[in-house]
Amino acid sequence: MPVYLDHAATTPMREEVLVAYLEHLRAVGNPSSVHRFGQDVRNVLEAARESLASSIGCNRSEVIFTSGGTESDNLAVKGLYWQRRVEDANRKIIVTAATEHHGVLDPIFWLEQHQGAEVALIPVDRNGVFDLGWLQQFVEQRGQEIALISLMWVNNETGVIANIEKITQIAGLAGIPVHSDAVAAFGHIPVNFAESGLAAMSVTAHKVGGPVGVGALVVGRQVKLVSLTHGGGQERGMRSGTMDAAGASAFALAAQISVSELPARQSKMAALSQQLISGVYGIAPDAVFSRGEALGLAETVHFAFDGCSSDSLIFLLDAAGVSVSAGSACTAGVNRPSHVLLAMGRTEAEANGVLRITLGHNTSESCVAAFLSAFPQAYAAAKKAGLASK
């Protein structure tokens, strides 16, 4: 039976979420219509907003529904930048990290190329940890020129966890809004928007057992941003378009279940992760655990294997019935080393020979055992192929 260990790419929809989703898909009515059909759907939408806000730790009015993490990231980065430029033309610097997801990096570099933004990259160490000493010094020196800071809560490839509260404290010294891509964090570690100090935060449904195509940008009540889309003025005027009530409801339910299960699931994930890590070291003693001793997400196990190709390892494991990845699904099939590993100071050879094994809500001991059973032959074959190509 095939084993799926690529939950960071997307995780299976929970059965109870699927049932509720299908039920709401049968409803007819535009949530902006005033008749009873429209208002019935509006009630579903607003109940979902209320529920999701409770799971995230924010006010219901701060939840802006979107199509997913990428749209949320674009709305936050571009919207905050444009708003800040309207308020103060001197603020044109965007601070981010080279280890960010392309959903953040690409709009930032687009703003640099087309809108005159200046990009400042916070250094990271070999474990992928942000240099907050550098950030504090940079804010002290050029804080009045910074439009926004965008740094992810949990890295989607290595699983390293950032100190978001410290980042927002530093930014607050110069009144700088901070956005965080929390797609890999929400539902996997405790996330509370109100306590974080963030101005905006991106989340998505399909990483917590909800449907693909639904997400949210959480925007603080006092925060203004320029919309990417203009039309009917829905979602506080930040995201025009007919709202997806069924998707929002499914997202809210998946989030509620994920958050409620979090304490028990964290314990389970820690045990499975340790079993996986120990097993890999037993088979490949020279493997390098990418985030080292840095604080990280238990569900994400990321290794570099000297002399192996990521593609070879993935294809060989897939042939054996075990599905894993090298990193973000958004860059899968792109023949280049991980930009995350390169930013962490790894060589191209090191960044070309990685595996990301990610666990999910339905991962069991038998799934880990299946990987450890298939891995020795795949590793030996990939190693042999790597040596032969030199």
Both 378 and 266 in one domain: the answer is yes
Q: Can you say whether the dihedral through the CA atoms of 229, 235, 241, 245 is positive or negative?
A: positive
What would the DSSP string read from start to end of 217-270? Answer: EEE-TT-----S--SS-TTTTTS-S---HHHHHHHHHHHHHHHHHHHHHHHHHH
d(CA 339, CA 354): 12
Residues serving a catalytic function are 330
pLDDT of residue 179: 98
Q: CA quadruple 245, 55, 331, 8: dihedral positive or negative?
A: negative
pLDDT tops 70 at residue 236: yes
Residue 318 lies in a domain: yes
Beta strand spans in 135-177 (E): 146-150
310: CATH: 3.90.1150.10
3-state SS assignment for residue 277: helix
Long-range CB contact pairs, 263-267, < 8 A, 24+: 265/361, 266/189, 266/298
Residue 250 shares a structural domain with residue 369: no
Band (pLDDT 50/70/90 cuts) for residue 330 is: low
Is residue 25 domain-resident?
yes
The answer to whether the CB of 317 falls within 8 A of the CB of 324 is: yes
Task: List pLDDT tens digits, range 281-291.
Answer: 999 999 999 99
Is the domain of 230 the same as that of 122? yes
CA atoms within 13 A on the CB side of 85: 15
d(CA 100, CA 297): 16
Neighbours of 137 (CB within 10 A): 12
> Are both 221 and 344 inside the same structural domain?
no
Please state, in angstroms and rounded to a whole number, the distance separating the CA atoms of residues 37 and 18.
22
- Residue 349: its pLDDT value, please? 87
Inside any domain, residue 287: yes
Neighbour count for residue 26 (Cβ, 10 Å): 7
Percent of the chain at pLDDT exceeding 70: 96
- Give the CA distances from residue 172 to residues 63, 85, 136, 147, 204, in Å, rounded to whole numbers and listed in that order: 22, 18, 11, 12, 26
C-alpha span between 103 and 71 (Å, rounded): 8
Q: Which helix (H) or strand (E) holds 216?
A: strand 215-219
Q: 21 pLDDT exceeds 70?
A: yes
Closest by CA position to 278, among listed 260, 295, 303, 245: 303
117 neighbors 93 (Cβ within 8 angstroms): yes
Do 39 and 174 touch, CB atoms closer than 8 A? no
The residue whose two tokens read 């509720």 is 20
Q: Are residues 92 and 143 in the same domain?
A: yes
| Helix (H/G/I), strand (E/B), else coil: 178 | strand
Could you tell me the two tokens for 135? 């950030």
| Total domains in the fold of the chain | 2
278 found inside a domain: yes
Question: 340-389, pLDDT tens digit by residue?
Answer: 999 999 999 889 999 999 999 999 999 999 999 999 999 999 988 764 45
Nearest-angstrom CA–CA distance, 247 and 251:
6
Taking alpha carbons only, the member of 195, 71, 90 closest to residue 146 is 90
pLDDT classification of 47: cutoffs 50, 70, 90: very high
Domain boundary residue, one of 256, 286, 303: 256
* Over residues 232-243, mean pLDDT: 93
Tell whether 22 is covered by a domain: yes
Mean pLDDT of the 48-58 span: 98
The answer to the question of residue 390 being in a domain is no
Residue 329: band (very low, low, confident or very high) from pLDDT cuts 50, 70, 90: low
User: Within this chain, do residues 46 and 157 fall inside the same structural domain, yes or no?
Assistant: yes
In the predicted model, is pLDDT for residue 335 greater than 90? no
Give the range of the structural domain holding residue 342, as residue numbers without chain letter: 3-10+262-382
Instruction: Single out the residue in 256, 285, 303 at which a domain terminates.
Output: 256
Asked, for residue 169, whether it belongs to a domain, the answer is yes
- What are 164-209's pLDDT values in tens digits? 999 999 999 999 999 999 999 999 999 999 999 999 999 999 999 9
Residue after which a domain boundary falls, among 256, 282, 306 = 256
Look up the CATH number of the domain holding residue 197: 3.40.640.10
